[in-house]
């Protein structure tokens, strides 16, 4: 039985789902930011090749998730930076890293910068009351 004074069960479920989504997005952003920070560490702190490969794989997965969210926003509402980041993202993921340790490191760093750009864009939209 539903207590109508507190709202319907559907309304409560919707509110709980929204709260869960907000927590999931915050947790995801924290994980993405952690990986991006590691990828963008100064040259003297360059990770070993195995970690670069792992970080690259994670950043590609993070970026694909972020691109999916950005693409839910009508293209006419994309900022100039978001449009550029989408183009760069597709270029980076289609072309790959190139050859050699330095190329892999630079590719990983470019992916991290794109992830940061997408997160900044989504946070900015959220701050204006949009998803």
Which tokens go with 38?
Answer: 């590691």
Range from 1-5, 8-12, 56-60 carrying the lowest mean pLDDT: 1-5
Q: For the segment 88-129, what is each residue's pLDDT rounded down to a tens digit?
A: 999 999 988 888 878 999 999 999 999 999 999 999 988 765
Count the Cβ atoms, other than its own, within 10 Å of residue 51. Answer: 13
Q: For the segment 62-92, what is each residue's pLDDT rounded down to a tens digit?
A: 999 999 999 999 999 999 999 999 999 999 9
The per-residue pLDDT for 127 is 79
Whether 121 contacts 80, CB under 8 Å: no
Reported pTM: 0.76
Which tokens go with 23?
Answer: 């927590």
């Amino acid at each position: 039985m539903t207590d109508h004074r507190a709202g319907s069960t559907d309304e409560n479920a919707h509110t709980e789902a929204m709260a869960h989504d907000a927590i999931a997005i915050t947790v995801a952003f924290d994980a993405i930011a952690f990986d991006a920070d590691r990828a963008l560490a100064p040259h003297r702190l360059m990770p070993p090749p195995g970690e670069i490969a792992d970080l690259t794989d994670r950043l590609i997965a993070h970026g694909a998730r972020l691109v999916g969210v950005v693409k839910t926003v009508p293209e006419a509402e994309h900022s100039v930076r978001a449009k550029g980041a989408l183009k760069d993202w597709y270029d980076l993921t289609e072309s790959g890293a190139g050859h050699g340790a330095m190329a892999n490191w630079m590719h990983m760093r470019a992916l991290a910068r794109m992830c940061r750009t997408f997160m900044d864009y989504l946070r900015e939209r959220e701050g204006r009351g949009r998803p």
